[in-house]
Chain A
Amino acid sequence: MKQDKIIGAILLLVALSAISGLGLITVFIFREGVPIILRLGARQFFLSTDWEPSLGKFGILSMIGGSLAVTVGAAAIGVVFSLGLAIVLTQFSPPGLSAALKPLIELLAGIPSVVYGFVGVVTLVPLIRHTLGGPGLSVLAASIVLGIMILPTITSIAIDALQAVSPTYLEGSIALGATRWQTVTMVILRAARSGIVAAVILGMGRAIGETMAVIMVAGNALEVPHSLLDPVRTLTSNIALEMGYASGAHRQALFATGVTLFVIITLLNIAALGFSRRRPARSRVG
């Protein structure tokens, strides 16, 4: 039909312009950011902790350290709670409960990050300051807030991975006298492993890219953190905090920070894709 063809063409146009828009943004970021890395030298840019834009010093090592610290911290917290939740919901609850709770968990992902940051500043930061010492604004605070923020992502993908495990494994294991818990740890987690790893990596991608909540609770100090209670500045925070007034080489260095983030997140996504493509091992005749 003629009408179908027209609608098809319009949709194609929309899709292409969205993709080319993304492509243009990517090109723009790289064009603005890469030259200064080349000019300063990769060593100087990535491996120096001196970030003093007024003196022309642009070393982002402490921010790379900050981003890694909060991301690893968030992943650790996120994995423990998300996996626990996913296991309880898929293995130890009546079937309806997981179906009812999963949309609720996914709803958590829709809460604006500034809200998480606000709750963190008001409750978590003073708690850390009073019980553990330090300024409160810290790697720990950021890790906890991010860990909670990535919980929906990891939980939801982990639930899918666990539900995809063939029920014949459960039967086979129970029939050998295993308990539910032994079955989960010895077979089901193994069978769902690739999906769970993909879930964690995607969660880390979210954590490293998060900005607003981190600015509010991490303290933003320009130092490589030595303890969980030290304040840190992440790559994303650095861009958001300084872009407003930066110009010239400073501005380019912020774009270069963006390029760094872009590459890290792309690598994480590729890794996640690789793991989720690896189908959970399944019986040939099953």
Chain B
Amino acid sequence: MIKVEHLSKQFGELTVLREVNAEIKKGEVISIIGPSGTGKSTFLRCLNLLEMPSGGRIFIDGTDILDKSADVPKLRQKMGMVFQSFNLFAHLTALENLTIGPVKLLGRSKEQAGKKAMELLKMVGLAEKAGSFPDELSGGQKQRVAIARCLAMEPEIILFDEPTSALDPTMVSEVLAVIRRLAKEGMTMAVVTHEMDFARDVSNRVFYMDEGIIYEEGPPQQIFENPQKEKTRVFINRVRSLTYHIRNQNYDLYAINGEIEHFCEKHVLPKTTRNKALLLVEELLAIFSAGQVTRQFEIDLTLSYSEKRDSLELVAESAGDYFNPFEENTLPDQLGTTIIKNLSENMEYQRVSDRNRFSMTVKKQ
């Protein structure tokens, strides 16, 4: 459905895109990853002509959109775009944000557009917020409205530019869930993202951008598990997260420590950060083992380092009954929880699909 040939883009002296060749087929979900400044956003913006390419050709369903005779507004309508910064109309309600485009640009009646808009808001889980203004919504909710607004224009493909980067870590999953659902329903999408787990399990193909080209492309298994080219390998190694599944109350703490230390070394994290990560994990595990109310002992730990934010995030999920040690009087003493609170930031507890989920950022200072 989209074919890009020899696409190039310069900003003055700076060559951002040298020679991009790519094809996106109907129903595909493409993740675009790569270091900062390698032109991922520029590439998306060229696709829907928010930036004018310096050279090359872009075909949409066989039509060259850079041809002078091309009906650009019409072609652009086929492509929705969702940005990092939501870009909702602040003076319009959520519902009106969704209806304005279809009424003004697609010639829909107010009723038609309103009905469709409500369906879409429901789809993203925000029907009850139809009358709310953007500043009454959380970041995650705003982004879901932005996605619904995009869908209201009935696009054939949606381009996402880091849709979760401006969100609090706790709101990332609700937005990713909506994108996952669209993927399941067969929507064609290209997503620039730093969420590697998401890229790994949602996309059909991954474009790794570097040096002004799509430096390596392939199925997620190849890009994440077995990248073929040097720069891809370096990048993947740097962002990859560590996951540890614990299925036994007699877990091997030192084996887990070893993995964490190795992970921290790989990301060249300071010794204090490493010690904090070790201690957070030890305390969490101790609390879980002490407070384990059901027979099953199942904990998944994920440690991920974001180079972009220079932050180390820890997520611990446990299966079983509701258990939140950070509520009063759940534990014999507060030592473990005090340590955790002091060594972490943005601690959140969530009960998600019958699991207890704790997420936190390891404090830097």
Whether A associates with B in a native complex is no
A residues at B contact (CB < 8 Å): none
B residues at A contact (CB < 8 Å): none
